[in-house]
Amino acid sequence: MQILVLRSWPSMPRHKLINAEEVAKVYTPRLAGELDEVVVAVALDGDGYFRAEVEVGRNTGKGYGLEAATILRAMIKAGAEAFLIVMNNPSGKPLLSPDTQHLAEKLDAAGEAVGVLLADVVVIGARDSGWISLRAEGIVGAEAGED
């Protein structure tokens, strides 16, 4: 049974996912076609390599109800030294909403307080309409794997 479950999940690349372009390459095919808004937390090791992935939110019309503590608990449980948040905008272009910015700022501060740094928040647009990085926008600033 465990073998069948493991085979059902797509394999993740063994490369660093701290670069927003690499994150977009991996997650655009997976999230761009979703009809619901999905939020995925990606646990990274100290060098920025993929460790685990947890879907932490799915908005089917009633909101997410996301809390920084819930996301950080999942990342600590996964053994993350840093993490990414990847979310989609199923209605079109990737937009930076006030709610997304507020969540990113809370996660950045909370992650720094507990020693699990937020590397980036990447928003994927619908139907290959692009992506944005909150790190590139200057909203979050941690970088996994920095010496």
Calpha distance 111→57 (Å, rounded): 18
Write down the pTM of the prediction: 0.81
pLDDT, tens only, 52-110 = 999 998 886 666 678 899 999 999 999 999 999 999 988 888 888 888 899 899 999 99
pLDDT of res. 7: 47
pLDDT of res. 128: 74
Q: Terminal CA-to-CA distance of the chain, rounded, Å?
A: 41
Calpha distance 16→18 (Å, rounded): 6
